[in-house]
Amino acid sequence: MEKRSLGSLQVSVVGVGCNNFGARLDQAGTDEVVFGALDAGVNFFDTADIYGGTQSEVLLGNSLRNRRGEVVIATKFGMGGSGDTEFSSAPDYVRRACEASLSRLGTDYIDLYQLHFPDSDTAAEDTLAALHDLIDQGKVREIGCSNLNVEQLRQYKVAAGSKKSFVSVQNQYSLLARDPERDGVLEVCDEVGVGFLPYYPLANGWLTGKVDPNEPLPENIRLGTMSDDRKAHWHSEAIRSKVASLLAYAKEIDTPLLTLAFSWLLSHHEVASVIAGASSRSQIQANAAAATTLSAEVVAELNRLTA
């Protein structure tokens, strides 16, 4: 599988989002997904200290214990996953959260350590100082962030000075959620030297190709279990209409919608890896196989259909 750069890291263009581990999947289920990913050439696993009530890191670490040198493990801090105040990036919190994640993962280093959510109460310089200490100690290789806007990305870049700054930003992005284009985050990636990691690349299930917008939604998928306030958007006629148009176009060009969803994201050079969750070996292998190169004409039509 093709790999792209995140700082000094080389990550597969399809990654595994590990939020199902410890939530929907036990150790056996986690092993199935992880080993299926490795067999498909995937080397990038993205988790967080809050996933699965902290158990995602534990299960992932167990699965990868004998394959650690083959993979890139990313995890996150800052949303209360280590028993501290939510949305914290205070230096003491960063250090405690890192030690807790290392212990749960059963490893002595984290490849990509990410600020999960911005913290307006802590100066960027203070957070970065703690992260640089972790790098100097060999506990972290690269640092990244999630849910930051353009102003915040620039702020952290300036605060880093001559030292390492974030090499990645992880925000929601898909054919049905194109905010990173509109809010400027995608454009600023080259300016501040970060790779983009889209989360929810399949738009909560709409882009799997398995959901008919004209039929009742299955209850066992994210679309069927989300809160009422999110349903107002994701169940709207505007979204359903776009999905119907995408399904029709996928059929017209004889290409699975899953392939179009992944490959459209990868057509943006800023995107380093498309992170998607999976609950079975077949699902992660389908995700891995969905990464291909689209023609300029197909990309343009997908842009038109989802504008």
Candidate CATH numbers 3.40.50.2300, 3.30.565.10, 3.20.20.100, 3.40.50.261; the one for domain 3-205+258-293 = 3.20.20.100
CA distance 4 to 195: 9
123, amino acid identity = A
- Count of beta carbons in the 10 Å neighbourhood of residue 305: 17
Kindly indicate the confidence band of residue 216, based on its pLDDT and cuts at 50, 70 and 90.
confident
> Residue 81's pLDDT is what?
60
- Count of beta carbons in the 10 Å neighbourhood of residue 92: 10
Rg (CA), the chain: 19
Kindly indicate the confidence band of residue 232, based on its pLDDT and cuts at 50, 70 and 90.
confident
Give per-residue pLDDT as tens, 99-147: 999 999 999 999 999 999 999 899 999 999 999 999 999 999 999 999 9
> Residue 125's pLDDT is what?
97
Active centre residues (catalytic): 51
CB 211 within 8 A of CB 176: no
Strands 72-77 and 110-115: parallel
Give per-residue pLDDT as tens, 10-62: 999 999 999 999 999 999 999 999 999 999 999 999 999 999 999 999 999 99
Residues in the chain: 307
135 to 4, 27, 98, 128, 142: CA distances (angstroms): 22, 30, 11, 10, 7
165 to 32, 131, 233: CA distances (angstroms): 35, 9, 35
Higher pLDDT: 87 or 171? It is 171
> What are the tokens at 114?
């990410």
